[in-house]
Copies of this chain bind each other. A is one copy, B any other.
């Protein structure tokens, strides 16, 4: 092996060890400190070679993930919010190229669903859900004896669903032409959360 190539190899090995020592890769730690929500799950193995008298270190990312909580406060009792751009931003931030993105309401009187961003359709949903599970009379629902008036919201949310699971392909939400993600509020006028969990590699 030529001397310069050997020097080159030594330098690259030293660089790699430096990288590990500088803690850029560590078990369960952050890969990129500018993105505190992004985790590169790594397993660290330090193999000691007694003959060669130095250690060989391998650090393997197992799976990438991102966890984010979104807050919403809808000023009316009911409403739909298109959250697609926010989710697209989180997918980019995650660095996941291929995987799954779960988006779910963390409250049981709200939904996350995928459909069309068309105001007429949202009006139709409102009328339809009110017909299938009317808000009034309040006392028609035993749940409302607890002092709540939101029993209908628990029912409407079952029709519209709690969560969506969306494929990520080539770093993007793998969507059909009209798919948009909505937060559906059925008992608003207070702060509520949506969870986004992205996993993949």
Contact = CB atoms under 8 A, between A and B. Distances in A.
A4 to B, nearest CB: 13
A67 B108 contact: no
A99 B199 CA distance: 7
Contact of A169 (B67, B158, B159, B174): B67
Contact of A155 (B53, B124, B151): B124
Contacts of A13: 47-50
Interface in A127-162: 128, 132-133, 141-146, 151, 154-155, 157-162
A142 B120 contact: yes
Contact of A63 (B28, B53, B200): B200
Interface residues of A, number: 89
Question: What is the interface of chain A mostly: helix, strand, loop, or mixed?
Answer: mixed
A185 interface: no
A103 B100 CA distance: 12
A4 B191 CA distance: 60
A158 B162 CA distance: 11
B143 A102 contact: no
A133 B141 contact: no
A70 interface: no
Interface in A88-108: 97-100, 102, 104-108
Contacts of A197: 100, 167, 169, 174
26 contacts: A1-B53, A6-B53, A12-B48, A13-B47, A16-B45, A43-B60, A60-B60, A60-B62, A67-B167, A104-B167, A106-B175, A106-B179, A107-B177, A108-B115, A108-B176, A108-B178, A113-B158, A114-B162, A115-B154, A118-B143, A120-B145, A121-B151, A125-B158, A159-B159, A161-B162, A167-B197
